[in-house]
Amino acid sequence: MFLTIALSSCGGDSSGKKENGKVNEINEREFTAEPDADWTNLFLRKSGWFGGDGIFVIPLSGKDAEKSDSLLFLFSDTMVGEIHGDSLQPGFVMINNSVALLKGKTADSSNMAFKMAGVKGSYKAIFSPKTNKPDKDTYFWLGDGFANPDSKNDLFIFAYQITNTHDKSPFPFKETDNVLIRIPAGSPFPYADQEQTALPFNDYKSGTETISFGAGVFNNSESAGEPEPDGFLYVYGIKGKSKQLVSARVKPAQVASFGDWEFWGGNGWSKDVKSVKALSDSVSNEMSVSRLSKGKYALVYQLGSIFPEICMQVGPTPVGPFGPRIVLYKTSNDIQDADLFTYNAKAHPALSAPGELLISYNVNSFKFFDVITKKPNLYRPRFVRVKFTQQSSQTNH
C-alpha cells in the first residue's frame, strides 16, 4: 500500500491559557515527571516493525500546535520480524531507517501505520545514500526534520551518512557525510522523488572536528504558528567528542541554500561555520529546542548522550544563553542490566500540551544481537511526561 503525504498549513496557538485577564507562566524548576504508558505501549509490537531508535516527530501541517494533524515519525535502525510470546522468530531483519504515520495526536494504534520500503522477505531502508558505488557498509541514520509551509509544504529531513569501521570499539562506525533530504509535498511512499544534497560545512577527510547538523530543528516562524516568531529556522548540530551544541539559522524558504546559513558565534551571527560557539556541552546526538512559555525556550537532551539523566536547560532565545542543567528524569529503571543504556532523549512539542513536555528516549544494549534475541521488545522508544507548575500573572488589556 502506498502512503501519500499531503502537507497542509493550518492555524494553532500554543501560547498558554488566558483566564480572567491572567496568563499562566511556566515555573521550570517545579515539575512532576512520570512514565507515559500510553505512548510507550504504542510501540510495543509483535509483528512487522517491532523496534527502532530515533525518534523524531514531524507534524505534517508544519505547526506543532495544530490540533487536527497527521504526524510523521522517523526511525533510524529498525527491527522487523515476528515475536511469538517472548520469543523472537528466525528471519528477523534490521534495516537502517523506517517511518510511521499517525493520524491525530493520540496514542491510538488503530491510527498508526508503520512503513518499511520493500516487501516481506526483502525489506530495505527508505532513505539510502544516492551514489554510483553502493556500499552495504554505508547508510543513513535520520536526524530531525520539518514540513515547510514556506516551501510548498515540502518535507525536509536531515540525515547522517554512516560508514561501518569494523573495529572492535563499542560503536564501530563513523559519520562520513551530512545530508539534507527534500521530499516534495504529496510524494507517495517510499518517496522515490526525494532529493539529497550534502551539506558543505564539514571536511570529513581532514580529521578535524565535524558538526552533525540536524540533531534538532526549531522553525520559529509565523508560518509555523509560533507565538513569538523571529522568522528563522534554527538547525542544531553536535560538534566533536565533547558533544558541544551549536546552532545555525536560516529563513525557512532558504533552508537548502547553504550560502544563506548563519552560525551563532556567541555574540552574533556569521556566515563562517568556523565561528560557531557552543550553546552547551555533553548533550545527546539527538535533542530538541522548543518554546516552553513566553520568553522561555527549553533545550532537552540526554546527558552525554548515554547517561541516565534527561536534562533541560532554559534560555530566553532559541540560542540561549541557556541556564544550568535541570535533571527532569532518570532512566535508571530501564538499565538495571549493565549491558543496557538509554540515549537521545528529546521533547516532542507537537505531542505536548501547554505546560507539559512529552519526552522520548531509547533503550539499547552494548551486546545488541545477543540481547535482542532474548528481549526482543527491549529496543523501542519509551516516553515520560513532564508537567510544570504554572503561575498566573496579571496581563494588560
Return the CATH fold of 26-390: Tachylectin-2; Chain A (2.115.10)
d(CA 8, CA 313): 32
Phi/psi region, residue 273 (left: phi>0; alpha: psi -120 to 50; beta: rest), is alpha
d(CA 149, CA 59): 11
The strands making up 173-183's β-sheet, listed across from edge to edge, are 138-148, 154-164, 173-183, 195-198
Cβ atoms within 10 A of the Cβ of 266, count? Answer: 12
Q: Which grid coordinates belong to 70? A: 497527521
Q: Which grid coordinates belong to 91? A: 528471519
Rg, C-alpha atoms of the chain? 20
Q: What is the pLDDT along the chain (397 residues), one digit of tens a residue?
A: 222 333 333 333 334 444 455 667 889 999 999 999 999 999 999 999 999 999 999 999 999 999 888 999 999 999 999 999 999 999 999 999 999 999 999 999 999 999 999 988 899 999 999 876 668 899 999 999 999 999 999 999 999 999 999 888 878 899 999 999 999 999 999 999 999 999 999 999 988 899 999 999 999 999 999 999 999 999 999 999 999 999 999 999 999 999 999 999 999 999 999 999 999 999 999 999 999 999 999 999 999 999 999 999 999 999 999 999 999 999 999 999 999 999 999 999 999 999 999 999 999 999 999 999 999 999 999 999 999 998 766 555 4
pTM above 0.75, yes or no: yes
Q: Which grid coordinates belong to 281? A: 556541552
Contact 62, 7 (CB under 8 A): yes
Instruction: Give the DSSP letter of residue 117.
Output: B
Instruction: Give the DSSP letter of residue 150.
Output: G
Block residue for cell numbers 522548543: 290
